[in-house]
Amino acid sequence: MTYAVTGGHGEFGAAVVAQLQSLTDETVVATVRDPAKTAAAGVDYRPGDFDDPATLRASLADVDTVLVNATFFGADPSRRRTRVRAAIDAATAAGVRRIVLTSWPDLERSTMPTVQDYRELEADVKAAGPTWTILRMAVGLADAVARDVVWGRQKGELVAPAKGASITPAATVDLAAGAAAALVSRSLDGAVVELTGPDAIGWDELAAIAGVPFRAVSDDEFVAWVMENFGLPEAVAQQLAALYADFRSPWAGTPTSTLAELLGRPATSGVAAVRDRVDRFPG
């Protein structure tokens, strides 16, 4: 049995590789853009670029199960869909028997325009031919709200259009461990799995982490505030506002137990997951 993880040099991909090594004695492959830049002993680093699917076809030729790592949420959706679809097709052409795809959480209730391509990607992997598992997760969710904490500390108040909102952020290391566990398990064949943190937190809790008051604002006020205070382009500020619109809805506000079940232990709390990302936040 050979397992492969695409994007093996990125933070999430590398974490999945490390977790896989702790779960199995089988061959672990990491497809990367630069195989000469190895990172972990005992891992078979091979060339693999979503923009050059021929490299993936060659590198996945003897692989049984592959994680198609589509966790680059900030990408242009039209480009992401093309690149990830190419990776799915390459894995299928290589004869991979099972594809595990990362997707966006609670997809049916998400309204953000920039993540709707995940609906098509889920359909793509289901139709590709190999057995499939879909892992719905927001690897960057804790980072998104950690940014609120960091900005709050800088400005003396946490400003966000998040009145009544809640989120269920999971720790990146937990999501990586959950993905690794899903790779080695066959009980999730044909399953769409929602991976969330174990509890829901709101912006009052985030303001407490920052040690500042929380001030709820409208979407328009927030867009103007981040453009003025942090120099973000309007398009980026509007994208952030779209994410908060989902935070205020029922999207991603209900914890699930699936991640803890995969881990075989309690998942890291939402507050702890955010604190960890705050500590890593640039600047």
Global pTM value: 0.95
Rounded to an integer, the average pLDDT of 52-64 is 97
pLDDT at 74: 67
Domains in the chain, CATH or no CATH each: 2-136 (3.40.50.720), 141-168+198-251+268-280 (3.90.25.10)
pLDDT at 78: 77
For residue 238, which phi and psi values (nearest 5 degrees)?
-65, -35
pLDDT at 283: 57
* CA gap 141, 270 in Å, rounded: 10
Q: pLDDT of 179-197, one tens digit each?
A: 999 999 989 999 999 999 9
Inter-residue contact 168 to 232 (CB < 8 Å): no
Q: Count CB neighbours of 36 within 10 A.
A: 7
User: What is the percent of the chain where pLDDT is above 70?
Assistant: 98
Inter-residue contact 51 to 67 (CB < 8 Å): no
pLDDT at 280: 84
pLDDT at 75: 60
Those residues whose C-beta lies under 8 Å from the C-beta of residue 8, and which sit 6 or more positions away, are: 14, 17, 29, 30, 31, 32, 39, 43, 45
Inter-residue contact 145 to 274 (CB < 8 Å): yes
**The tokens of 33 are what?**
């853009």
Q: pLDDT of 205-244, one tens digit each?
A: 999 999 999 999 999 999 999 999 999 999 999 999 999 9
* CA gap 277, 140 in Å, rounded: 9
Look up tokens 């949420």; give the residue. Answer: 73
pLDDT at 40: 87
Rounded to an integer, the average pLDDT of 135-156 is 94
